[in-house]
A and B are shown apart, each in its own frame.
Chain A
Amino acid sequence: MTGIQDVYRQQFKTTLASFIQYRASIFIWTIDRILEPLIYLVVWSAVARATGGRVGGFDASQFAGYFIVMMLVTQVTYTWVMYEYEYKIRHGSLSFALLRPIHPIHTDLVDNISSKLITLPLMLVAAFVLVVLFKPAFSPPVWAAALFVPALLLAFAVKFVVEWTLALSAFWTTRVSAVNQGYFVAALFLSGQMAPLSLLPHSLQVAASLLPFRWMISFPVELILGRLSPAQAAAGLAAQGAWLCLGLVMLRAVWRAGVRVYSAVGA
């Protein structure tokens, strides 16, 4: 086993063991992630029914499909690094990570993936129940279904890299909560979590596509719902790739500068 695989394996065991200590909290957080799309689903289905069965190209069962897939995509892409780094940097616990001969992003990444694997079964059960209750309708072409997994993984990679980089703002300001709050509100609207992007005003749709938000969550949902042409899908994958590369470059630069600041002001 190579060094990094060994670290990933051990970190997975550590996260698993820690999570087991917090079964109740994990359960509640997962319920939270199920409830949020469920609420939007119920609201938008009601709106669709009240306005003659359709809103902006979505009927009730298509909204069901959108938000159930959204729930699963959110499960794969969520991270909590922005909250975590505020604490780690302000309380100096990042120091231990800096003393170790490994980049801290590795342990954060495994920690994140581990937590998802642990809560995935509950998520799948919830998705199954929602499918039975809301009878979603979508039939993606085979090529779109095939591209869904790469798009989903890229979405996670872009979101993780962008949020990890933003989390490092804690190196410069002690009030990261404000940065976090601004980001989460923007993400709620622009990544399609609250409503499909096609329902937003045109200017916001453009903003969502120019910024990384669409590519972090909405894009794989649109893909699997069969709402994209092959050209749009290819452009989307290219946008994801571009954001990932840009994100990695930014991450590297911000990390270096941030550690320098951290080590200048007192770890």
Chain B
Amino acid sequence: MSQKSNRSDGVFPLPPKRYSCWMESSDAIRVRDLRKSFFVTERESGVGAALASLVRRRREEVTAVAGISFTLKPGEIVGFLGPNGAGKTTTLKTLSGLLHPSAGEVSVLGHTPWKREKSFLRQITLVMGQRNQLVWDIPAGDSFELNRAIYKIPSPDYRNTLGELTDLLDLGPLLRKPVRNLSLGERMKCELAAALLHRPQVVFLDEPTIGLDVTMQRRIRAFIAQYNERFGATVLLTSHYMADVEALCRRVIVIHHGRLLFDGELGALVDRFTAHKTIVIKLEDEGRDLARYGDVISREQGAVTLRVPREETPRVTGRILAELPVIDLTVEDPPIEEVIERVFAGEIS
């Protein structure tokens, strides 16, 4: 679309505002052509190389984000996916004002994040699953009080929010224990509460469930959904656990090597990146050769799994039902985890 708009032959004249869509005021987050590179000094291992680096340092430019654009509407929860080093954390840090981009335009709630205006910082939060903001040696409740003062939260609002967060996260008994005595999961719950006391409108979550057991992951996930629903907050979430993304996000943005690979509904991701479906068949006669219908992926407990090109699935299914003594047949998309893995591995693009 943008290519067409940019044509200068008069067939698709430029609109008066070229980025009228980008400028739409109802977006909570707008990112346009964001780029971020770092200079990293590097040297070979060994004493010789160490001495050589004293004289001359070799600096290499590493591109973390190579020009990505997207927008988020208020209240959206969007999953931000990519393998390690894809540029997810760099993007979140830029959006929350910790990093200065190398190029591009970013607007979060109408603010330029890296100016770090107080009015901006009061409306956002960044939770990093691998870092702590709570003071280690004192109960979380005391750190909460400090945040109340720093964010100038009026006392009645503070009491209400803390009450709600305590209910949602079941924090009651945890607030009086020193943070260092809490389990990883308990600490994460307290970290989330501390980060949300000022009721930010935009929440950046960088792997909030990392290292947690399955029950705690589910708990945190449910909480994020409830928080989003109750306060209408916009949430951008990165996670390595597809379960987080499947449970929370209708929309996902996939980046890889700093570039945007996909931005759309989770279901469409599978359509976009998989050319196949799987057909699982149970037959009365288990021994049959099914290779002529598609690739046989597995045979387990009387069920045969076939991989069939997506567009041929209806025809193949029809043939199987007509030609074979079928007891049961199901057509499935490959598991989303597998799709994502293959996208990241560079097998499909």
Contacts and interface: CB of A to CB of B under 8 A. Distances in A.
Interface string A83-108: 00000000011011011111000000
Interface in A95-136: 95-96, 98-102
A267 B138 contact: no
A93 B133 CA distance: 8
B152 interface: yes
B218 interface: no
A56 B145 CA distance: 54
B138 A17 contact: yes
A216 B36 CA distance: 42
B116 A98 contact: yes
A9 B146 CA distance: 9
A30 interface: no
A49 interface: no
Nearest to A4: B149
B99 A17 contact: no
A7 interface: yes
Contacts of A102: 118, 150
Contacts of B119: 101
Given A14-B142, A17-B138, A98-B98, A266 B38 contact: yes
Nearest to B148: A10
B121 A99 contact: yes
Given A7-B150, A17-B138, A263-B114, A99 B96 contact: yes
Nearest to A1: B149
Interface residues of B, number: 35
B152 A3 contact: yes
Contacts of B133: 96
B93 A267 contact: yes
Contacts of A175: none
Contacts of B121: 99-101
A98 to B, nearest CB: 6
A210 B180 CA distance: 47
A7 B143 CA distance: 11
B257 interface: no
A252 interface: no
A99 B149 contact: no
By DSSP majority rule, is chain A's interface helix, strand, loop, or mixed?
helix
Contact of A266 (B99, B125, B139, B145): B99
Interface in A1-59: 3, 6-7, 9-11, 13-14, 17-18, 21-22
B122 interface: yes
B178 A93 contact: no
A142 interface: no
Interface in B150-194: 150-152, 178
A93 B131 CA distance: 8
A95 B98 contact: yes
Given A7-B146, A92-B131, A99-B98, 14 more contacts: A9-B149, A10-B146, A10-B148, A13-B145, A14-B143, A17-B139, A21-B178, A93-B131, A95-B93, A95-B128, A95-B131, A102-B150, A260-B100, A265-B39
Interface of B: 38-39, 90, 93, 96-100, 114, 116, 118-119, 121-122, 124-126, 128, 131, 133, 135, 137-139, 142-143, 145-146, 148-152, 178
13 contacts: A11-B149, A14-B138, A17-B139, A21-B137, A21-B178, A95-B126, A95-B131, A98-B116, A99-B96, A99-B121, A100-B121, A101-B151, A263-B98
Closest 10 CB pairs of A and B: A101-B118, A101-B121, A21-B137, A10-B149, A6-B149, A263-B100, A17-B138, A267-B98, A96-B133, A7-B149
Interface of A: 3, 6-7, 9-11, 13-14, 17-18, 21-22, 92-93, 95-96, 98-102, 260, 263-267
